Amino acid sequence: MKSKLMTAAAAVALLAVGPAAVAQAPAPTATEAKTFVENAETQLAKANEFGARAAWVRANFITEDTQWLEAMATAQQSELATRLAKDAARFNGVATDAVTARKLKLLKLYLVAPPAGRPGAADELANLLTKMDSAYSTGKFQHGGKTLTLDDAEEIMAKSRDPAELKAVWEGWHSIATPIKADYARFAGLSNEGARELGFKDTGALWRSNYDMEPDAFAAETDRLWKQVEPFYRNLHCYVRARLSEKYGASVQARTGPIRADLLGNMWAQQWANIYDVVQPKGVTSSYSLDKLLEAKAYDPVKMVKTGENFYSSMGFAPLPETFWQRSLITRPRDREVVCHASAWDIDDKDDVRIKMCTRVNAEDFQTVHHELGHNYYQRAYKEQPLLFRGAANDGFHEAIGDFAALSASTPTYLQQIGLLETVPGEAEDIPFLLKMALDKIAFLPFGLLVDKWRWQVFSGEVTPENYNQGWWKLRTQYQGIVPPGPRPADAFDPGAKYHVPGNTPYTRYFLAFIYQFQFQRAACQQAGWKGPLHRCSVYGQKAVGEKFNRMMELGQSQEWPKTLAVFTGETRTDASAVADYFKPLNTWLITQNKGEKCGW
């Protein structure tokens, strides 16, 4: 309140002395700009820790009170960051040093949902975000006389081979998003209002500005990368569709056209590894199941996380602090509602790192553990940077760090190194292995791209609230070649059935990460002197690789991301050719399998 009164008083004084005095006001200096960003970092550090602690409590104890507390902390944090972003604009055109100039730029891009400056806007926006997140996280629906959570629904989607049951469960979960639609429309309008006050066309333009290039140039860059991998995706789609048609019959899944979304083993059809049993190569079987290996070795959730830590330790990284084990949430509590979506947390921008996930002992969560810990090790690596540089080179890096580790963690080479597998299978099992990986990695790429394409269209006004669902399915069919299992209700809000939409987490980072991880893998294996196929390379125990990788991570967001990418890979451009290198044997095999099929949709 005091700062607002002072601002009003200053305005009155300026009006009293007339326009001439205003014209004579001295221009801001480089010294003032440097002092401003230093003060901004001090203020943000306090607000960030308070916000992180409030968010952690709400995510682990979902009640009316914790939602109120998080909303209050988020509103205060947003108001501060918005004010600082607007103040940073005062220094536009000031010749500052390079570090200060980058900090000023990052201040303007600090929030993914900036509130408008008018009274009450930050509170309303924060309340909407908390309400949407909690509505998703506590979502339940009725099926077969039982109340199902998302965890329950995902298990059915993964294991059931009954098309009627899959359709019912798919539709049941998607129904929980319908009440979120009105709040999302209001949120989009409020966020756009704040983004425009910061000088951006809309919130989507603000998001795209965070990649050291112009917003339209970045959109074109994502299209370029998609074109690199699209042919491979279409080959995979064609093969999987044929196997599904053979399994269920043409009345359920035609051998041409799009694939029914609920048949792909995942609630969002974003990754298809759960239907490997349906699409596995004929006459070639995998000699092991990671699910069964974990069970046979008596793994529990904590041992899963310990194994992930050991991977990073083998590359020379220091062990996780004891507070990690004391404060992380590793299993779903039985006595309360929690946000089970796996996440990694940096509470104090120093050493208080944690994960939060309802860990299950299976192959999927084995990979997720390695992924989430990657965030924590990245957070620790850049903790000595100034606050505004404590972040990923771009947000795709943050996701790719752990995904890179998970690439090694998925190989039979690594499973043998840590004693889960006695012997590494021979070359005959390469196609089954690569097919499983492609059902995860390649199948994801179009989904990783289209989630934000939809939001960019929402923020720009190209897709309006009454057309939210139609716009969503237009993109899903265009890029993924999938359709819903049946007609959708007029009030459906299917985008809201994916956490990152009501949770307001930008999604292009995942698309980029699924490309960067293969660039990292190719560079790391070259540095390790690996001579075999890229898909069999594990960097477990490679301390020299770990040391160079850490040099890249330590830079945080201190410079433009192409320079940081070059520190580890020697490349200055995102390049999906590493994806092609990794999967080359499989793509050749798919082309052969698809002979006679009418691919595409």
pLDDT in tens, 462-471: 999 999 999 9
**Residues 66-117: tens digit of each pLDDT:** 999 999 998 899 889 889 988 998 898 899 999 999 999 999 898 899 999 8
Phi-psi region of 149 (alpha: psi -120 to 50; beta: other; left: phi over 0): beta
Band (pLDDT 50/70/90 cuts) for residue 133 is very high
Length of the chain: 601
List CB contacts of 81: < 8 A, sequence separation 6 or more.
Answer: 44, 47, 107, 110, 111, 114
**Residues 434-444: tens digit of each pLDDT:** 999 999 999 99
Q: Confirm whether 535 is a catalytic residue.
A: no
Q: How many Å apart are CA 477 and CA 475, to the nearest integer?
A: 5
Q: How many Å apart are CA 423 and CA 293, to the nearest integer?
A: 13
Band (pLDDT 50/70/90 cuts) for residue 16 is very low
Lowest-pLDDT choice from 201-205, 335-339, 478-482, 565-569: 335-339
CB 62 within 8 A of CB 138: yes
Domains of the chain are 2-132 (no CATH), 209-290+388-601 (1.10.1370)
Q: Confirm whether 143 is a catalytic residue.
A: no
Q: Confirm whether 399 is a catalytic residue.
A: yes
Copy the structure tokens of residue 74: 């988020």
Q: From the candidates 371, 400, 523, 578, which is the catalytic residue? A: 371
Q: From the candidates 52, 85, 372, 497, which is the catalytic residue? A: 372
Q: From the candidates 414, 499, 510, 582, which is the catalytic residue? A: 510
Q: Confirm whether 500 is a catalytic residue.
A: yes
CB 109 within 8 A of CB 209: yes
Whether residue 22 is predicted with pLDDT greater than 70 in this model: the reply is no
Running DSSP on this structure, what letter comes out for residue 114?
A: P
Exposure class string for 227-244: b at 16+ Cβ within 10 A, else e: ebbbebbbbbbbbbbbbb
Q: How many Å apart are CA 33 and CA 553, to the nearest integer?
A: 27
Q: How many Å apart are CA 195 and CA 108, to the nearest integer?
A: 10
Q: From the candidates 41, 154, 171, 399, which is the catalytic residue? A: 399
Q: From the candidates 341, 528, 554, 597, which is the catalytic residue? A: 341
Q: Confirm whether 398 is a catalytic residue.
A: no
Q: From the candidates 158, 342, 528, 544, which is the catalytic residue? A: 342
By C-alpha distance, which of 407, 408, 343, 409 is closest to 376? 343
Q: Confirm whether 372 is a catalytic residue.
A: yes
- Tell me whether residue 503 is exposed, middle or buried, using C-beta atoms within 10 angstroms of its C-beta: 0 to 12, 13 to 18, 19 or more: middle
Q: What SS3 state is found at 472? A: helix
Q: From the candidates 237, 370, 375, 535, which is the catalytic residue? A: 375
Which pTM value belongs to this model? 0.88
**Residues 83-96: tens digit of each pLDDT:** 998 899 889 889 99
Element (H, E) at 384: none
CB 292 within 8 A of CB 361: no
Q: How many Å apart are CA 497 and CA 489, to the nearest integer?
A: 14
CB 490 within 8 A of CB 376: no
Please give the pLDDT value at position 111.
Answer: 85
CB 563 within 8 A of CB 572: yes
Q: From the candidates 500, 524, 576, 578, which is the catalytic residue? A: 500
Phi and psi at residue 142, in whole multiples of 5°? -95, 135
